[in-house]
Structure 1
């Protein structure tokens, strides 16, 4: 060993006066946080992850000892019963926060919704001892937990198990042995899909009250292996006949199958030689099934026979088949949802929202159904009965507030990336002419056609990008724009492509409820619109036309419209009048409850107060701003939720408001 190496080693033990701290500095994340983050990020996908020479944390935590004892020489045999395990770790609360626990409560409610049990009734929670577990008590015990484990356990042969509860209890007891601690969990079985499965919620605490950390490898491999052992023990190993029947069912399937996986494993540079392995013909049907599958793939343009026994497979085979399988699942979801909603729509009317489809970049309709399309990650979907005569399936970002999207609400769907690319280009151009700095003043100076509201819209875009660490805001309200700004903004857009829709609620009320509503409704806006929305086809189109006629009669009866030779003439400033009337009524009602005086904010005046909460009215959603003895109502925007309990200030311009973050007091409405 060299002298330098000796000195480097000795320095590790040299005393250093000062405050005791970790080598990572004050901002270093805790070791537990690092492990939890890596486990959550990798989860069950660890098997496919590439090897890394750095620390991964995959063998840190409980369960690793069991894996070490049983890892050598083990592999799943063909006769083993397969079980799919999906896992996720959810943080229950940030420091001092309870938002995560609220989300856990909502998730638990959703798992117990109607129509998921064998009897098509509500799902019932159970635990290690009881078939009627108390979900509220489970969440109460979880109040101070740092995190929660969520598992979806789906045995391939679940339909052959008489009851999933004994299997789940055996699995959790086995996990307790492997992890060396008692586990606090609840579960619910779902039978609302073709594949029965169980949802398990596990507290992130061990039996000593310490944070429960499970080794990533155990989550990714150990649980699946234990579950497979239990099902194989219960049903016995798979016979040759069973294996062949399963593969036979896969020959014509419009999704990625085990047969496809087997074919791809035998390929070299997308080329497959069926004569290369003579032993393959002996395994569960062998070449006859493979050739049958290849013929199906050939008809789909995913395989090409070059010569007898020699094939070329498409490099996009797996991606294409997975996408086709997803589409098939979505169509089934749409069929079930429309049937439950009592709507009659043929498959030709179905549309899956895709920004690349010019017919789907923007449309308006009513929410006919909603639900979870990703039960693990809580990604929701909407079925929107559109004014274009089609029923649209729209995938939502898991962060979407579903309370803003009640059944029957009228919504507008646009591409999430629509408009942002042009805004990003404008920001980059302004910054380029201003030494890499963007500010509203610089924008107005360089573009004589821009309005202050237009510049503030770009500030809102920058606020969103700041939260993604793309840009930095200076103390004077200007923005530092990096040289690679557009590339980084585009990368974020690509990352969000899984949830390509942006949703705007046009009315929280159904069409029926809008007919007699006090405020300014979507129906009213359509009635006074010079170029109203075209209504095609049946369903939403018919309902909207009927509702508008009845709303029209309502306005005539109130003296807010009159019949003339050329048609209906509406009262001047009808929308403003209806909105003001509703705000006065809502203000009076809130005044009774709060004991504060309601003060109306005139158009053009400045409103200021502590943001308390929002209320949903026929005219839209409004924020309550309170002072010591009075309150007012101003149009609500999503950015206000980050200022809950803080002072906000701004100027009202009709129903349009733009927001500007104030440095000291809170949020300003410009």
Structure 2
């Protein structure tokens, strides 16, 4: 380009591109991350990155201006749920849980309500929010909820104030919970404003504005806390083994990790001075603080995480003691072991360890005489584990055999189904069809593909990484939270003792009761096995010879066939369809109509048009209700064909 041309050169910017929701969402995510990192450094309302993005940022600056130290205290936990990531069943599962049995004031089921109704239509609420991008879920927990008495009216007033702060009508449902020592309210708020646009709430309003509004309202209703109430509340915190308000005050007043005498002597801390000193002495006995010189204390850096962990442990212990109802057991928290050791027991309690994030737990009365606290994997459905059901809990961090096979068969990082089929044919046994073996590995590859671990290059051809086994193990550990829970029987052992069907008790009889202790569930299971033996004798399936019991040949198969025959007879009478029994090695196809829970396990009803068949159920088909499926049964195990099938 010549100098003359260079002089004539002018930049002509094009029209600005339409950013759209995707760009805005990206900005919000990044500012949210930045705010999480810099929030403590910025400190004040309106100074955190992204604090003014969204509705309510002005109200957050003025809410609570008139609140003094004697205002009613309030805890609000908020969660923003991305519905696309949480899954289509997330809202239904959350609403079902907060409406569960035993949470209202009389011990009955929770009842959802809204702004204008005491009986909210949850199905209509879910339908209206089916296409929402996100949803807000929060828990409002007033310290003096018992004195408020009418949480429903209080929640409606609070939501009305939020509408004024946010400048839009809000669509929400709520459920009051009275089943804990701290009554609280669950609120589910749609992520749309009254114009149908995405509802974006400023970070500062979520972090502080909501809590200040709730505190203002409670203070207006009940009046300010009295000096006696405040003193008693702080006195209770002195000896507690958790992170308390006194600890937060000490953390705030410490300079370079030291709490000095002149700090505690300040007039604004005069009322708390003796309690703060008492708390420091308590922390010293716990090894979390030390007195450097008279009146000067150093609070250790690990004090906060340690106290928070102790608080969680205390909550777990209290939860387990309530679930065991006075039954004496050694208490243990299940941790996956390197040797793959599992525990077997009955479910005596369940619930959410974190009601906001739907993180569930089970209390399992084990055959080893201990009560185990089991933290469930994310998105676990508590309905899968009925109280009284027999479950097996083990670690899920082991490398899968399928991943090992794929890695071995992948030459130069390429796995081919035709090559695997040829290998499987050479190793075929009567109970393992080579096609089913390959199909199972393809299903695993599809799951790993969705996780971005493998790549499908063509039909039946996959590119796999060299470290497939380890990455597959990490994927399972992240997805399952390191814990896998399998239901061995949904029936309590008391019902298993006298039922037609192949039960867990029958398996224990065949195995001689190995692994059953004499305490707790182990002892109860041994008594139930004796009752089961008497029942089997009456059915002609067992004989006593002295001190020993001789069980019928193929006991489990006989019991299963009898139960299936009766279940099929009942379904045939109900539907008018003919039952078509499934033989070993037979392939059956039909529309998946429903599942049937039997003592022998769960079965799927396949409607083939001319009749129906009952096929062992697997979780993989649960989302396929009403769809055409096919299955093959070999040696008691089932292989399901999902979607369009192609030959190898």
The answer to whether the superposition gives a TM-score over 0.5 is yes
Q: Which residue of 1 aligns with 2:168?
A: 181
Deviation by residue 1:403-427 (Cα, 9 ceiling, x = unmatched): 322222111111232x23x659736
Q: Are 1:320 and 2:306 matched, yes or no? A: yes
- Cα offset, 1:611, TM superposition: 2.9
Q: Are 1:520 and 2:502 matched, yes or no? A: yes
Distance 1:361 1:314 in 2: 37
Paired residue secondary structure (2:210): helix
Q: Are 1:621 and 2:602 matched, yes or no? A: yes
- Cα offset, 1:205, TM superposition: 4.3
Paired residue secondary structure (2:128): coil
Query: After the TM superposition, which residues 652-667 of structure 1 pair with which residues of structure 2 at under 5 Å, given as runs?
Result: 652-658=633-639, 664-665=644-645
Q: Which residue of 2 aligns with 1:397?
A: 377
Deviation by residue 1:234-292 (Cα, 9 ceiling, x = unmatched): 344456655444333211101111222333345567x4252474655750545543332
The answer to whether the 8 A contact 1:38-1:56 is kept is no
Unpaired runs of at least 5, structure 1: 15-20
Distance 2:310 2:421 in 1: 46
Distance 1:123 1:479 in 2: 50
Q: Are 1:436 and 2:413 matched, yes or no? A: yes
Distance 1:70 1:282 in 2: 23
Q: 2:56 aligns with which of 60, 63, 72?
A: 63
Paired residue secondary structure (1:214): coil
Could you say if the C-alpha distance between residues 610 and 44 of structure 1 is closer, same or farther in structure 2, counting changes exceeding 3 Å? farther
The answer to whether the 8 A contact 1:514-1:523 is kept is yes
The answer to whether the 8 A contact 1:46-1:217 is kept is no
Paired residue secondary structure (1:628): coil
Q: Are 1:109 and 2:99 matched, yes or no? A: yes
Could you say if the C-alpha distance between residues 49 and 473 of structure 1 is closer, same or farther in structure 2, counting changes exceeding 3 Å? farther
Deviation by residue 1:554-585 (Cα, 9 ceiling, x = unmatched): 22222222233572222211111221222222
Q: 2:77 aligns with which of 86, 95, 101?
A: 86
Distance 2:315 2:233 in 1: 20
Could you say if the C-alpha distance between residues 349 and 259 of structure 1 is closer, same or farther in structure 2, counting changes exceeding 3 Å? same
Paired residue secondary structure (2:387): coil
The answer to whether the 8 A contact 1:83-1:227 is kept is yes
Could you say if the C-alpha distance between residues 443 and 605 of structure 1 is closer, same or farther in structure 2, counting changes exceeding 3 Å? closer
Distance 2:291 2:13 in 1: 66
The answer to whether the 8 A contact 1:622-1:634 is kept is yes
Q: 2:537 aligns with which of 541, 551, 556?
A: 556
Q: Are 1:195 and 2:172 matched, yes or no? A: no
Unpaired runs of at least 5, structure 2: 1-5, 43-47
- Cα offset, 1:506, TM superposition: 0.8
The answer to whether the 8 A contact 1:460-1:659 is kept is no
Q: Which residue of 1 aligns with 2:363?
A: 383
Could you say if the C-alpha distance between residues 585 and 228 of structure 1 is closer, same or farther in structure 2, counting changes exceeding 3 Å? same
- Cα offset, 1:202, TM superposition: 3.1
Distance 1:49 1:536 in 2: 52
Query: After the TM superposition, which residues 583-594 of structure 1 pair with which residues of structure 2 at under 5 Å, given as runs?
Result: 583-594=564-575
Could you say if the C-alpha distance between residues 273 and 107 of structure 1 is closer, same or farther in structure 2, counting changes exceeding 3 Å? closer
- Cα offset, 1:608, TM superposition: 2.8
The answer to whether the 8 A contact 2:145-2:183 is kept is yes
Q: Which residue of 2 aligns with 1:18?
A: none
Could you say if the C-alpha distance between residues 582 and 163 of structure 1 is closer, same or farther in structure 2, counting changes exceeding 3 Å? closer
Query: After the TM superposition, which residues 242-641 of structure 1 pair with which residues of structure 2 at under 5 Å, given as runs?
Result: 242-266=229-253, 271-275=257-261, 277=263, 279-280=265-266, 283-339=269-325, 344-346=326-328, 348-355=329-336, 361-417=341-397, 419-420=398-399, 423=401, 426=404, 430=408, 434-438=411-415, 441=419, 461-482=444-465, 485=468, 488-489=471-472, 492=475, 495=478, 499-529=481-511, 532-565=513-546, 567-641=548-622
- Cα offset, 1:620, TM superposition: 0.9
Distance 1:424 1:308 in 2: 65
- Cα offset, 1:32, TM superposition: 7.7
Q: Which residue of 2 aligns with 1:17?
A: none
The answer to whether the 8 A contact 1:430-1:442 is kept is no
Distance 2:427 2:266 in 1: 71
Could you say if the C-alpha distance between residues 407 and 278 of structure 1 is closer, same or farther in structure 2, counting changes exceeding 3 Å? closer
Q: Which residue of 1 aligns with 2:15?
A: 13
Q: Given the two structures, how large is their TM-score scaled by the length of structure 2?
A: 0.83
- Cα offset, 1:507, TM superposition: 0.9
- Cα offset, 1:536, TM superposition: 1.8
Q: Given the two structures, how large is their TM-score scaled by the length of structure 1?
A: 0.80
**How many residue pairs end up in the alignment?**
628
- Cα offset, 1:152, TM superposition: 0.9
Q: Which residue of 1 aligns with 2:3?
A: none
Deviation by residue 1:600-624 (Cα, 9 ceiling, x = unmatched): 2211222333333321111111122
Q: Which residue of 2 aligns with 1:220?
A: 207
Distance 2:274 2:283 in 1: 14
Higher alpha-carbon deviation: 579-588 or 73-82: 73-82
The answer to whether the 8 A contact 1:608-1:647 is kept is yes
Could you say if the C-alpha distance between residues 205 and 282 of structure 1 is closer, same or farther in structure 2, counting changes exceeding 3 Å? closer
CA RMSD of aligned residues (A): 4.2
- Cα offset, 1:477, TM superposition: 3.6
Paired residue secondary structure (2:634): coil
- Cα offset, 1:311, TM superposition: 4.6
Distance 1:43 1:327 in 2: 31
- Cα offset, 1:454, TM superposition: 7.9
Distance 1:257 1:506 in 2: 42
Could you say if the C-alpha distance between residues 154 and 102 of structure 1 is closer, same or farther in structure 2, counting changes exceeding 3 Å? closer
Paired residue secondary structure (1:11): coil
Paired residue secondary structure (1:598): coil
Distance 1:335 1:43 in 2: 41
Could you say if the C-alpha distance between residues 141 and 544 of structure 1 is closer, same or farther in structure 2, counting changes exceeding 3 Å? closer
Distance 1:640 1:121 in 2: 33
